[in-house]
Amino acid sequence: MRVFYRGLASLEVGLLSDARDQFVRASELAPREPAIHANLAVARVGVGDDGGATTALETAYALAPDSAAVAFLQGQLASFSGRSEEAVAQYRRAAALDADHEQARFALAQELERGGAEPDLPEARRWLEEVLARRPDNLAVLLERARWAARTEDGDVLDDTIERLTQRSAAWPELAMEQLQGLSEAAAGGDLGRAATMAQLLRNVLVRTPAFREDLAVVSVSAEQIAAPLMRFLAMPSPPSTAAAPDRTLAYVAERIQPVAQGTVEAAALAIVPGGEDGTPAIVATAGETVRRVGRADAGPEIPFPGGGPATGPAAEALLPLDWNGDYRMDLAVVGASGFGLLTRNEDGEFEQNTPVPANDIDMGSLAGYGAWAADIEMDGDLDIVHGPLDAAPWVLRNNADGTFEAVRPFPAVAGLRGFGWGDLDVDGDPDAVLLDAAGGVHPLENLQAGRFGGWPAWEASRPVVALALGDLNADGVLDVVTLDAAGQVSRTSWNDGTWDREP
């Protein structure tokens, strides 16, 4: 049902009135689907219609009385309205209906603790320990456990929790390390009142880090949401994600590119740059000395290519189309054996030499390399350039959006970049990186956000890899790393529940 998913999309971006209207329409089309009424309740609460939300949620419950998802939503909305006893009852029901509902257990523990009644604290602690048993390294759960252990003067549990937190602290900011040290000292000195305060202060610092936010999202609803909507139908079958039927009438016709007026152009690297003023893409080529337009009578000016002579001719990745300056005109980055350059597109659609200025202390000569790839490494909205030197660790030319860049090296373990992939491999909402080094080794890296990456287990390959790309080959909704090895073998590898699933 299209309107159901439109409503979900509207909820996600905060268009609450539109979401309400979409779910009202969906409820008219499928009045027996409880997920629609549940999400209508979420939208109505968002626009201040508490009475309408109650009615919609009662309808969802009547249609699905044994749904843990509906019970959890009832608990969330009751908690939001300050009805703590009702929230506790609904969270208990959700936990009883679904033994794997971690968010219900975590919410129940927090709701009981907020109630402040001493008889409820052992039950709250039990629910928290259930979540911890499933998520032993979850920062959000560990910090709650540390605070509660200090509050209840359970020194052994507090010491165990501090040890677990210390094991996860390698990439924490300096202020968080100071707070962790203060927590450890308070616990060692038996000052558990101060330890409870330090645990809360540590949480306040870590809440700004990507690692904590990712862990919190596993066990709790986002603070930006009143309640979490139901993402799938409960009664009706959810539509499967399937590819459209192939268009077997599609055909490609080879057309010879017209040479420029001066004659045939030999090319070692070629790029198609979309978006000229008339909508016609520009075809750009280089043989290692100049960069020039091909396929039209007027080739325009010849722009020097940063090559190094015939022995070090350009790679296929030496020309990279991207919109570097955010003017909706595609530019062209060029990388060769003697350096790096950027050709920006002017209003007439022609390319001009306009290499950005480094904002940090870097020798532009050190940007000689093999090729370049585009990615928004910090996810700040500006495309960066991943630059591959011939035999050193890759550079990322971080786009400052002011005509300058900062050269950083977030992938120090990779020598001689020869291929780069950028996509969400672990389905957590942010793109991850896959790098191919000069020796044919593949390096998959998890995006920890803010320009930081963590290593994943490498997979064993019997032969060096010569090329890689990302794509969902088996249409399961998970991106695969597709590799071609030196013997011509194509393989598919995907991240599956903490391990790599590899098929030739």
Residue 240 covered by a domain = no
Based on the domain organization, do 159 and 267 belong to the same domain? no
pLDDT tier, 268 (very low <50, low <70, confident <90, very high otherwise) = confident
DSSP state of 260: B
Cα–Cα distance for residue pair 219/197, rounded to 1 Å: 23
Pairing assessment for the beta strands 384-388 and 432-437 based on DSSP bridges = unpaired
Contacts (Cβ under 8 Å, ≥6 apart) of 118:
none
Residue 234 covered by a domain = no
Residue 42 covered by a domain = yes
Based on the domain organization, do 125 and 204 belong to the same domain? yes
Based on the domain organization, do 85 and 14 belong to the same domain? yes
Contacts (Cβ under 8 Å, ≥6 apart) of 141:
106, 128, 131, 132, 135, 215, 219
Based on the domain organization, do 287 and 164 belong to the same domain? no
Find how far residue 354's CA is from the centre of its chain.
31
Based on the domain organization, do 398 and 453 belong to the same domain? no
Which one of 399, 415, 431 terminates a domain?
415
Cα–Cα distance for residue pair 435/423, rounded to 1 Å: 12
Q: Is the pLDDT of residue 459 over 60?
A: yes
Based on the domain organization, do 35 and 100 belong to the same domain? yes
Structural element, H or E, at residue 339: strand 339-345
Which one of 361, 385, 415 terminates a domain?
415
Based on the domain organization, do 388 and 475 belong to the same domain? no
Q: What is the pLDDT of residue 343?
A: 92
* Structural domain count, the chain: 3
* pLDDT tens sequence across 113-171: 887 777 778 888 899 999 999 999 999 999 999 998 998 888 999 999 999 999 988 87
Residue 248 covered by a domain = no
Residue 228 covered by a domain = no
Helix, strand, coil content of the chain in percent (nearest 5): 35, 20, 40
Q: Are 377 and 396 in contact (CB under 8 A)?
A: yes
**Which of helix, strand or coil describes residue 432?**
strand
Cα–Cα distance for residue pair 480/488, rounded to 1 Å: 18
* pLDDT tens sequence across 175-204: 999 999 999 999 999 998 999 999 999 999
User: Can you give the residue range of the structural domain that contains 460?
Assistant: 418-503
Cα–Cα distance for residue pair 353/302, rounded to 1 Å: 11
Strongest mean pLDDT among 90-99, 142-151, 226-235, 337-346:
90-99
* pLDDT tens sequence across 100-125: 999 999 999 999 988 777 777 888 88
Q: Which of 189, 108, 193 is nearest to 147 (CA)?
A: 193
Residue 249 covered by a domain = no
Structural element, H or E, at residue 421: strand 417-423
Based on the domain organization, do 139 and 101 belong to the same domain? yes
Based on the domain organization, do 328 and 296 belong to the same domain? yes
Q: Give the dihedral sign, CA 203/208/214/220.
A: positive
* Model confidence, pTM: 0.62
Based on the domain organization, do 441 and 401 belong to the same domain? no
Which one of 369, 386, 415 terminates a domain?
415
| CATH number for 212 | 1.25.40.10
Based on the domain organization, do 215 and 86 belong to the same domain? yes
Q: What is the pLDDT of residue 139?
A: 93
Give residue for tokens 């390319």.
351
Based on the domain organization, do 339 and 410 belong to the same domain? yes
Cα–Cα distance for residue pair 157/327, rounded to 1 Å: 56
